[in-house]
Amino acid sequence: MSPVMGINHATSGAAVWLAATATLPAFGTDIFPLAPAGVLAGTLVCAGAALLPDADHHSGTIAHSVPVLGRLVARSIEEESGGHRHGAHTLLAAVLVTVGAVLLGRVTTTVPVLGLVPLGPAIATMALICFAVKARSLVQRWGTAWLVGLASAVAVLVFAPDTSGWFPVAVGLGFVTHLVGDLLTVEGIPSLIWPIQVRPPRAWRRTPALRSVWKGNGYIAVPLLGHAGSLREHLLGVALGLYCVYAFGTVALQALHLDVLPH
Ligand SMILES: [Zn+2]
């Protein structure tokens, strides 16, 4: 069974980040100060991070990122985590990945001209944006996707050099958005307290309506979208995509106005 399509995961990651940073009053203010450039860079990082859980799937987008090596890495993650939609589709994995992003955020180096640059976030941004543009089918070839990733990483370094605050937040939010997306399908995700997998009692398992929410194998689902790849999933993907274009465009205009146009 194929998971929610990569394109819809990437779109939902971008939409959630834009909604959180551009719309909520708590963001972009004293609590979470974020310049428009940070919002735009974070959109791409969050979209890419929303693909990460499917790294456990050897036919997923990430598995195809680098010839041979990508598939080997995906296959070993699949085996380590117990297979697709197991360990990598859990809150535990989300916490580990976010902690990893915090640590990666501290990896810096000094480069001539630019000075101190966040090397860790730059490399992670390159990989995540490469996955994001490939999943959105914005480019056809992986070579082109890596080039777009590299160009984006350079842009992030030049225009939004202060990655320390928003980078781990974008990675963690993207990862959790993926879990929510899969939760909304019939197939569902493992228990929220994985690796502890609690199975429902027998009487529960006999009732189809209850069984579809909390499954015999301990998986949980809120199957509003039906099966993965359904018409409902596609319609939601299109709606979120339109929102992304609107919100990204608005913030981009804001960024140009603040940084380029004198006033
Ligand atoms: Zn998934």
DSSP states along 36-101: HHHHHHHHHHHHHHTTGGGGG-TTSTGGGSSTTHHHHHHHHHHHHTTSTTSGGGSHHHHHHHHHHH
Tell how far the Cα of 58 is from the centroid of ligand 1, in angstroms: 12
The answer to whether the peptide bond before residue 195 is cis (omega within 30 degrees of 0) is yes
Nearest Cα to Cα of residue 127 among 215, 200, 66, 53: 66
Tell how far the Cα of 3 is from the centroid of ligand 1, in angstroms: 5
Tell how far the Cα of 219 is from the centroid of ligand 1, in angstroms: 13
AA letter at 99: V
Tell how far the Cα of 203 is from the centroid of ligand 1, in angstroms: 29
> Does residue 1 surpass a pLDDT of 60?
no
For the residues 83-97, what does the mean pLDDT come to? 83
Q: What pLDDT, on a 0 to 100 scale, did the predictor assign at position 84?
A: 64
Tell how far the Cα of 63 is from the centroid of ligand 1, in angstroms: 13
pLDDT-derived band at 99, boundaries 50, 70, 90: very high
Tell how far the Cα of 254 is from the centroid of ligand 1, in angstroms: 34
Would you tell me how many other CB atoms lie within 10 Å of the CB of residue 159? 15
pLDDT-derived band at 180, boundaries 50, 70, 90: very high
For residue 235, with 0-12 CB atoms within 10 Å meaning exposed, 13-18 middle and 19 or more buried, which class applies? exposed
For the residues 68-81, what does the mean pLDDT come to? 68
Nearest Cα to Cα of residue 259 among 15, 25, 40: 40
Give the whole-angstrom CA distance, residue 209 versus residue 79: 32
pLDDT-derived band at 121, boundaries 50, 70, 90: confident
Give the whole-angstrom CA distance, residue 97 versus residue 231: 31
> Does residue 29 surpass a pLDDT of 60?
no
Q: Are 48 and 129 in contact (CB under 8 A)?
A: yes
> Does residue 142 surpass a pLDDT of 80?
yes
> Does residue 151 surpass a pLDDT of 70?
yes
Q: What pLDDT, on a 0 to 100 scale, did the predictor assign at position 3?
A: 47
Tell how far the Cα of 253 is from the centroid of ligand 1, in angstroms: 33
Tell how far the Cα of 192 is from the centroid of ligand 1, in angstroms: 14
Tell how far the Cα of 28 is from the centroid of ligand 1, in angstroms: 30
Tell how far the Cα of 151 is from the centroid of ligand 1, in angstroms: 27
Q: Are 131 and 61 in contact (CB under 8 A)?
A: yes
Tell how far the Cα of 238 is from the centroid of ligand 1, in angstroms: 19
Backbone angles phi, psi at 243, to 5 degrees: -60, -45
> Does residue 132 surpass a pLDDT of 70?
yes
Tell how far the Cα of 54 is from the centroid of ligand 1, in angstroms: 5
Tell how far the Cα of 198 is from the centroid of ligand 1, in angstroms: 20
AA letter at 98: T
pLDDT-derived band at 261, boundaries 50, 70, 90: very low
> Across the chain, what does the average pLDDT equal?
81
> Does residue 38 surpass a pLDDT of 90?
no
For the residues 131-135, what does the mean pLDDT come to? 73
For the residues 219-236, what does the mean pLDDT come to? 90
Tell how far the Cα of 88 is from the centroid of ligand 1, in angstroms: 9
Would you tell me how many other CB atoms lie within 10 Å of the CB of residue 262? 3
Tell how far the Cα of 259 is from the centroid of ligand 1, in angstroms: 38
Tell how far the Cα of 204 is from the centroid of ligand 1, in angstroms: 26
> Does residue 45 surpass a pLDDT of 70?
yes
Does 33 or 51 have the greater pLDDT score? 51
Tell how far the Cα of 57 is from the centroid of ligand 1, in angstroms: 8
pTM, 2 dp: 0.83
